[in-house]
């Protein structure tokens, strides 16, 4: 069971260093927010209205869940439907294998009259039937049924592989939408800071360098938002293809939980599930059985069949009568019933080649199964370690790194308000927060993709019993650890706020006057 998630592919907007300045513009907003020492300090109030996030048209509560997307993909993907036709082909071969050989009817008629001769004739009608010996029919049916089972396992593997691809693309799309929300909030706040900074420049309170810094960072944020939106639209196009929809068809996704479920299964339990459920391993095991069945069939085909026949013959002829019998001509008729049996003598061809070929196929299937078992154990171990790493990273970002990073920024802001720090120190601290928030979003995405990779390694959905009961999240309880990142509160904190002039700057300006 996968709760709203071949390796997790990094989106283009998650690459190293791309967001090193994501919140640099927000830093400028905080640069001019100093602690007020009196209520009569001038205030530049923002005019910013609420921000409408563009991701709302792609993600909402009325959107499609990942389970529904998997269901649509299974019913509409043309390549999967084509693969399922292999089942119909194999079922036809099973039906054909059960059939017995048909009898053979042959008839002959000859007469000299066709060449202008006498009215004599010969008629012969026979029926023959081949009887298969050595259990050929039952062994042929066994091979066909095993081939059907193997194809069924391969189709199941394709279905599960498609489901994993859909879950991964869904997770990447939600991650792109989550990042786009933050960027658009920052851009909206930055536009207000540009306005405020330009107004303060006219009053002589800030230098032109500060205005240029704000504008440059504003443009950088817009570039990042363009990349994030492109990544979101790319993942949506990929989802349309995976689900068999037209590329122009509208698609809206249901949101993903910000507090993901916790998996309680250990490595041993997961490995047992994989060895029991992996469709490719099941196909390999069937391949071994199929190899043995083909050997039995090849040996049975070395046993010669028996062909029994029965034939009725009638001949009409004209006989010259001797003078003693009165002379002249008389009509002579003879009827004959013949029974026969024919058997091939296996002197040269005893089907040695087919037996050797089937023996090689069985050995090949055995080696393939052994290698696949070791590969499955490795895949499960790797996926489980990735899950553990993603879970630990997510918990660390949520409970330690982000709360402390925000607290550090608040301290630097307060010190700047007292004139102890410069704007560049505030910007640097804000950039650290930027990297941490980006790392948190990436860890959340990696956690869900790790669950998908685990399902791929297991060859089935994670069982519902494998998750903590009661919807317990991998993140600690907020009542026990209250200092955790909260998406809604964080987005609200990016709203423009009143900008008060720095009291130190006011005092310096009064002295200069």
User: What CATH number does the domain containing 169 carry?
Assistant: 1.20.1600.10
pLDDT, mean over the chain: 80
Residue range 154-164: mean pLDDT, rounded:
93
The whole-number pLDDT of residue 146 equals 96
* Percent of the chain clearing pLDDT 90 (strictly above): 48
- Domain carrying residue 128: 12-512
- 416-425 CB contacts, 8 Å cutoff, 24+ apart: 416/31, 416/34, 416/502, 417/33, 417/34, 417/35, 417/502, 417/503, 417/504, 418/34, 418/35, 418/504, 419/502, 419/504, 423/28, 423/31, 423/210, 423/213
Residue 28 reports pLDDT greater than 60: no
Residue range 90-111: mean pLDDT, rounded:
94
Q: Which residue did the predictor score with more confidence, 472 or 65?
A: 65
Is residue 454 one of the residues assigned to a domain? yes
Q: Which residue did the predictor score with more confidence, 289 or 317?
A: 289
**Are residues 259 and 383 in contact, defined by beta-carbon separation less than 8 angstroms?**
no
Distance (Å, rounded) from C-alpha 472 to C-alpha 455? 20
Strongest mean pLDDT among 6-20, 28-42, 208-222, 393-407: 393-407
Is residue 4 one of the residues assigned to a domain? no
Residue range 105-133: mean pLDDT, rounded:
90
Q: Would you place residue 34 in the very low, low, confident or very high pLDDT band (cuts 50, 70, 90)?
A: very low
Is residue 6 one of the residues assigned to a domain? no
Residue range 56-64: mean pLDDT, rounded:
89
Q: Would you place residue 33 in the very low, low, confident or very high pLDDT band (cuts 50, 70, 90)?
A: very low
Residue range 199-217: mean pLDDT, rounded:
75
When mean pLDDT is compared across 94-98, 302-306, 327-331, the lowest value belongs to 327-331
DSSP class of residue 426 equals H
Q: Which tokens hold the place of 414?
A: 């307060």
| Count of C-beta atoms within a 10 Å radius of residue 410 | 12
Residue 92 reports pLDDT greater than 90: yes
Q: Would you place residue 166 in the very low, low, confident or very high pLDDT band (cuts 50, 70, 90)?
A: very high
The whole-number pLDDT of residue 488 equals 58
**Are residues 69 and 5 in contact, defined by beta-carbon separation less than 8 angstroms?**
no
Is residue 2 one of the residues assigned to a domain? no
Interval 409-437: pLDDT, tens:
778 767 765 656 655 566 667 667 777 87
Pairing state of beta strands 499-500 and 329-343?
Answer: unpaired
Residue range 453-459: mean pLDDT, rounded:
92
Residue 497 reports pLDDT greater than 70: no
Interval 297-328: pLDDT, tens:
999 999 999 999 999 999 988 777 777 766 66
The whole-number pLDDT of residue 38 equals 31
Q: Which residue did the predictor score with more confidence, 227 or 11?
A: 227
Query: Number of folded domains in the chain?
Result: 1
Q: CB-based burial of residue 30 (10 Å sphere; 0-12 exposed, 13-18 middle, 19+ buried)?
A: buried
Is residue 88 one of the residues assigned to a domain? yes
| Angle at the Cα of 81 from the Cα atoms of 77 and 87, rounded to 5 degrees | 155
Its sign, for the CA torsion 409, 411, 417, 421, is negative
Residue 333 reports pLDDT greater than 80: yes
Q: Would you place residue 339 in the very low, low, confident or very high pLDDT band (cuts 50, 70, 90)?
A: very high
Is residue 74 one of the residues assigned to a domain? yes
Distance (Å, rounded) from C-alpha 489 to C-alpha 285? 53
Residue 29 reports pLDDT greater than 50: no
Q: Which residue did the predictor score with more confidence, 392 or 472?
A: 392
Q: Which residue did the predictor score with more confidence, 410 or 457?
A: 457
Q: Which residue did the predictor score with more confidence, 498 or 192?
A: 192
Q: Which residue did the predictor score with more confidence, 145 or 3?
A: 145
Residue 382 reports pLDDT greater than 90: yes
Q: Which tokens hold the place of 288?
A: 């071994």
Is residue 210 one of the residues assigned to a domain? yes
Q: Which residue did the predictor score with more confidence, 233 or 224?
A: 233
For residue 145, give the nearest of 281, 276, 289 by alpha carbon.
Answer: 289
Residue range 192-214: mean pLDDT, rounded:
73
Is residue 7 one of the residues assigned to a domain? no
């Amino acid at each position: 069971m996968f709760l709203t998630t071949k390796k997790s592919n990094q989106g283009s907007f998650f690459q190293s260093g791309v967001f090193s300045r994501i919140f640099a513009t927000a830093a400028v907003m905080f640069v001019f927010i100093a602690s007020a020492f009196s209520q009569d300090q001038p205030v530049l109030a923002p005019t910013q209205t609420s921000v409408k996030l563009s991701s709302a048209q792609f993600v909402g509560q009325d959107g499609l869940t990942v389970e529904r997307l998997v269901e649509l993909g299974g019913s509409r993907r043309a390549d999967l439907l084509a693969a399922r036709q292999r089942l119909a082909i194999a079922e036809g071969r099973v039906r054909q294998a059960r059939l017995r050989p048909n009898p053979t009817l042959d008839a002959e008629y000859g007469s000299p009259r066709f060449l202008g001769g006498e009215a004599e004739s010969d008629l012969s009608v026979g029926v023959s039937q081949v009887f298969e010996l050595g259990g050929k029919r039952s062994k042929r049916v066994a091979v066909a049924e095993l081939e059907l089972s193997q194809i069924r396992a391969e189709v199941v593997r394709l279905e599960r592989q498609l489901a994993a691809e859909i879950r991964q693309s869904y997770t990447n799309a939600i991650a792109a939408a989550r990042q786009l929300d933050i960027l658009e909030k920052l851009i909206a706040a930055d536009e207000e800071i540009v306005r405020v900074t330009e107004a303060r420049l006219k009053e002589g309170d800030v230098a032109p360098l500060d205005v240029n810094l704000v504008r440059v960072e504003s443009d950088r944020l817009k570039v990042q938002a363009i990349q994030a939106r492109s990544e979101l639209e790319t993942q949506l196009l990929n989802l349309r293809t995976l689900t068999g929809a037209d590329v122009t068809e509208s698609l809206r996704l249901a949101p993903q939980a910000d507090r993901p479920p916790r998996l309680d299964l250990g490595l041993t339990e997961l490995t047992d599930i994989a060895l029991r459920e992996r469709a490719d391993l099941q196909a390999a095991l069937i391949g071994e059985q199929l190899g043995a069945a083909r050997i039995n069939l090849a040996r049975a085909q070395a046993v010669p069949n028996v062909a029994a026949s029965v034939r009725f013959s009638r001949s009409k002829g004209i006989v010259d009568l001797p003078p003693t019998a009165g002379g002249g001509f008389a009509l002579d008729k003879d009827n004959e019933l013949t029974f026969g049996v024919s058997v091939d003598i296996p002197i040269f061809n005893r089907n040695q080649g087919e037996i050797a070929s089937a023996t090689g196929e069985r050995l090949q299937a055995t080696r393939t199964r052994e290698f696949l078992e070791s590969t499955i154990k490795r895949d499960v171990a790797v996926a489980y370690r990735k899950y553990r790493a993603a879970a630990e990273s997510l918990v660390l970002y949520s409970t330690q790194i982000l709360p402390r990073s925000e607290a550090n920024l608040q301290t630097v802001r307060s010190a700047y308000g007292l004139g102890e720090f410069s704007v560049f120190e505030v910007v640097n601290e804000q950039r650290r927060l930027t990297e941490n928030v980006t790392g948190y979003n990436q860890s959340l995405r990696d956690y869900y993709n790790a669950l998908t990779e685990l399902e791929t390694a297991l060859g089935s959905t994670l069982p519902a019993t494998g998750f903590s009961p009661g919807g317990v999240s991998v993140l600690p309880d907020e009542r026990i650890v209250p200092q955790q990142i909260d998406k809604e509160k964080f987005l609200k904190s990016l709203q423009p706020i009143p900008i008060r002039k720095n009291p130190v700057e006011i005092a310096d300006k009064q002295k200069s006057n």
